[in-house]
Amino acid sequence: MRALGTVYCGCMRTLGRGRSLARDGELSMVIERTTSRWIGVFVAVACLMVASAASAEGYAYDLAGELMSPYCPGRTVASCPSPQASELIQWIQVQEAGGASEEEVVEMLIERFGEEILGAPKAEGTGLLAYVIPVVGFVGGGGVAAVVIRRMVGQSDDDDDDDAGPPSTGGGASAPDAEPPAAGDDEFARRVEAELAARS
């Protein structure tokens, strides 16, 4: 309180000298310094309030948001509207206030409700498979897809080299023994033009 009184008195002295400061052009500098000091104090107080609120909250609310509710299937304890879930959140808060660690509270809840209360299985034993199988499936599937695509691209390149002849007309299959005509064959070009003219 005394610090505020000192700041107030200092401001009043500054304002009392305002007329002489205004002539010298220093009034704006004094106001800027005073304003920046007050903003600094305000920001520091706000940061302290946020930090104290975060430390007061502890792990209870975070844990309630991570654990699955035994009362509402598919929901976390924090999002479950049942009164039993509210009681469970209060129980977690009481345990936290009593000095129990988060790990101890989780172990007590697992003993009471089983492993289903955990949102994700533990990464040990058979629970480790829940993490390994998707990664192996993704990598294996990507490898198979890469091999298939590579073979398809390689096959189409080979087909392009083999199909140097003209494309077949009509829906029938082309004769495998037929040899494509030479590039300088005028007779073939005339037949193609005649067929195209007949279709038009």
Residue 192 lies in a domain: no
The tens place of each residue's pLDDT in the chain, 200 residues long, gives 455 455 445 555 555 554 554 555 566 666 777 777 778 677 777 766 666 555 546 888 888 888 999 998 889 999 999 999 999 999 999 999 999 899 999 999 999 988 888 877 777 777 788 888 999 999 999 999 999 998 888 776 666 555 555 555 555 555 555 566 565 578 888 888 999 999 87
Contacts 24+ apart (CB under 8 A), 61-65: 61/89, 63/92, 63/102, 63/105, 63/106, 64/88, 64/89, 64/92
Q: Closest by alpha carbon to 95, among 110, 82, 84, 106?
A: 106
Number of domains in the chain: 2
Residue 150 lies in a domain: no
Q: Is the Cβ–Cβ distance between 98 and 110 less than 8 Å?
A: no
CA distance 67 to 82: 15
Residue 199 lies in a domain: no
- Whose tokens are 């600094």? That residue is 40
101 and 65 in a common domain? yes
CA distance 62 to 109: 15
67 and 43 in a common domain? no
Residue 83 belongs to domain spanning? 60-128
Q: How many CA atoms lie within 13 A of 114 on its CB side?
A: 4
Residue 145 lies in a domain: no
